[in-house]
């Protein structure tokens, strides 16, 4: 193959601008963790037939969580960084984690939710009461309310329709909150979490349910859990129902009361979560592209490595292009959101949809590049496709999110 002599050798994250010393130090640690810890453990847990084995004593999941803690990447430490640096580090670090293993990256990201919300709501009392020494989770969806409950403001709901009966209710009893009902089987980390950021309906006796957000320790009497969900992809990420039988906590656990505080909390969280998803699934797309690129240099057909076939280079180029585009948007939105007074949820949604769609497409193209080997469990790309498939549903189905994002483009005065 002929070259004209001019060539820029790109690093793992492509067209990477100069990074600060802090960024480089943090990212070196995260990259090593992604490669040496997440990759092998992600594959091992994916192969377990029974998802309950993922949380059994002696499971490598516990090793992974212990090793991650050693990196010191707590929400508290990240929020102490200057906004610009935080915006860049969050997006590059989550890309590395997604590159390591998509399901485990979601496990680590979902774990931060209670602390992200406590920080967003500037609730110092609860932050002091609950140090970041346990696994967290986000309990929002319910058996009867998936897209519904993420649709705060009911922007995607049919005119004249009603929300219907909630599956999880909070009521106030003197100085205490009492939680009853259940959350869906989809709660990421539900089987192992110690602290839940619970979005639920407040029953104030008026007959009208209003949404609120409660920080709920899961070691309280009355909390029980469903069995670990068996699913396609992201199998290292354990999920399961949370059941509440009159669980009591002091009233100051309500981190966002109905009305404006609730809207502020859920807006901030969905904007942040979609943004993190964008970086994670950019990382998974990059992993699929790298596997395909490497395979193209080793697999021979027609007496030459397949990279020598023009159409293979053409296909690899489009995979590279999609990963770069997904990364560019994910980073731009994360940076904007962390450096602006209010995050742009339409940007987060655009980045989430782009990255998850990219991860799915690039993983599928990687399978095609591997030929028959691509669909066997011996090679890593079929797992990437399974992992990416769920990402188009988690944190909101992409089509529902697009309708919601579109609502934020409309001029509220002329709408
Ligand atoms: C891997 C994974 C991780 C998850 N983690 C968590 C978690 O940590 N915590 C948690 O609480 N939940 C979690 N979820 C649940 C997730 O948020 C929901 O699955 C998602 O919001 C969709 O809800 P649903 O599954 O009930 O689908 P439904 O809402 O029933 O949707 C079914 C179909 O109808 C379409 N649809 C629904 N409403 C509309 C509308 N208004 N306009 C147009 N189309 C619509 C959807 O696009 C979809 O195609 C997770 C899910 C997955 C897959």
Within 10 Å of residue 13's Cβ, how many Cβ atoms? 20
141: CA distance to ligand 1 center in Å? 8
Model confidence at 207, in pLDDT bands (50, 70, 90)? confident
Token code pair at residue 294: 């490497």
Token code pair at residue 65: 């969580």
Tell me which of 352, 400, 403, 406 to substitute to probe ligand 1's pocket, judged by most ligand atoms within 8 Å of the beta carbon: 400
CA-to-CA distance for 275 and 277, rounded, in angstroms?
5
CA-to-CA distance for 59 and 1, rounded, in angstroms?
48
Give the helix/strand (H/E) hosting 274: helix 260-298
pLDDT of 26 above 90: yes
What is residue 2's predicted lDDT score, i.e. its pLDDT?
A: 59
What is residue 1's predicted lDDT score, i.e. its pLDDT?
A: 58
3-class DSSP state for residue 162?
coil
What is residue 5's predicted lDDT score, i.e. its pLDDT?
A: 84
pTM across the whole model = 0.97
**Ligand 1 atom with the shortest distance to the CA of 157:** 41
DSSP 199: E
3-class DSSP state for residue 89?
helix
Work out whether strand 195-203 and strand 136-139 pair parallel, antiparallel, or are unpaired: parallel
**Ligand 1 atom with the shortest distance to the CA of 147:** 29
What is residue 264's predicted lDDT score, i.e. its pLDDT?
A: 95
Mean pLDDT over 55-81 rounds to 96
3-class DSSP state for residue 197?
strand
140 CB under 6 A from ligand 1? yes
Q: Which residues pair with 179 in a beta bridge?
A: 170, 247
400 CB under 6 A from ligand 1? yes
DSSP 50: S
409: CA distance to ligand 1 center in Å? 22
397 CB under 6 A from ligand 1? yes
Mean pLDDT over 155-163 rounds to 90
34 CB under 6 A from ligand 1? no
390 CB under 6 A from ligand 1? yes
pLDDT tens track for 115-126: 999 999 999 999
What is residue 343's predicted lDDT score, i.e. its pLDDT?
A: 97
299: CA distance to ligand 1 center in Å? 40
Model confidence at 257, in pLDDT bands (50, 70, 90)? very high
Query: Would you say 161 and 246 are in contact if contact means Cβ atoms under 8 Å apart?
Result: no
Which stretch of 7-11, 36-40, 283-287, 385-389 has the lowest confidence by average pLDDT? 7-11
Model confidence at 85, in pLDDT bands (50, 70, 90)? very high
What percent of the chain is modeled with pLDDT above 90?
93
Q: Whose CA is nearest to atom 23 of ligand 1?
A: 146
What is residue 72's predicted lDDT score, i.e. its pLDDT?
A: 94
pLDDT of 3 above 90: no
CA-to-CA distance for 53 and 244, rounded, in angstroms?
24
**Ligand 1 atom with the shortest distance to the CA of 142:** 11
Cα torsion 309, 359, 53, 135: sign: positive
Tell me which of 190, 195, 213, 393 to substitute to probe ligand 1's pocket, judged by most ligand atoms within 8 Å of the beta carbon: 393
């Amino acid at each position: 193959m002929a070259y004209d002599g001019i060539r820029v050798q790109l690093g793992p994250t492509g067209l990477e601008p100069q990074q600060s010393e802090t960024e480089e130090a943090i990212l070196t640690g995260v990259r090593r963790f992604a490669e040496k810890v997440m990759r092998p453990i992600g594959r091992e847990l994916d192969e377990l037939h029974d998802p309950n084995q993922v949380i059994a004593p002696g499971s490598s999941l516990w090793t992974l969580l212990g090793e991650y803690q050693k990196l010191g990447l707590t929400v508290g430490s990240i929020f102490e960084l200057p906004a610009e640096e935080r915006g860049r580090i969050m997006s590059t670090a989550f890309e590395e984690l997604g590159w390591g293993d998509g399901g485990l990256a979601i496990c680590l990201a979902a774990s931060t939710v209670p602390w992200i919300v406590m920080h967003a709501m500037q609730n110092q009392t609860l932050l002091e009461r609950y140090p970041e020494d346990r696994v967290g989770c986000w309990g929002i969806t319910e058996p009867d309310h998936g897209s519904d409950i993420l649709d705060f403001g009911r922007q995607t709901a049919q005119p004249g329709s009603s929300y219907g009966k909630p599956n999880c209710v909070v009521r106030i009893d003197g100085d205490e909150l009492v939680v009853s009902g259940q959350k869906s089987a989809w709660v990421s980390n539900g089987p192992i979490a110690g602290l839940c950021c619970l979005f639920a309906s407040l029953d104030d006796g008026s007959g009208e349910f209003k949404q609120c957000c409660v920080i709920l320790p899961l070691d309280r009497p009355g909390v029980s859990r469903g069995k670990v969900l068996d699913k396609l992809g992201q199998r290292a990420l354990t999920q399961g129902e949370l059941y509440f039988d009159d669980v009591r906590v002091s009233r100051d656990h309500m981190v966002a009361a109905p009305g404006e505080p609730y809207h502020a909390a859920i807006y901030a969280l969905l904007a942040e979560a979609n943004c993190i998803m964008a970086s994670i699934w950019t990382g998974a797309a990059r992993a699929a592209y790298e596997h395909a690129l490497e395979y193209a240099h080793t697999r021979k057909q027609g007496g030459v490595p397949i990279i020598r076939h023009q159409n293979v280079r053409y296909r690899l180029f489009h995979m590279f292009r999609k990963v770069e585009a997904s990364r560019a948007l994910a980073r731009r939105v994360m940076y904007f959101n962390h450096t602006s007074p209010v995050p742009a949820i339409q940007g987060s949604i655009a980045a989430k949809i782009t990255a998850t769609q990219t991860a799915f497409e690039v993983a599928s193209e990687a399978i095609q590049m591997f030929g028959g080997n691509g669909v066997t469990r011996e090679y890593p790309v079929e797992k990437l496709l399974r992992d990416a498939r769920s990402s188009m549903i988690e944190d909101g189905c992409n089509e529902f999110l697009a309708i919601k994002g579109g609502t934020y483009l409309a001029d509220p005065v002329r709408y």
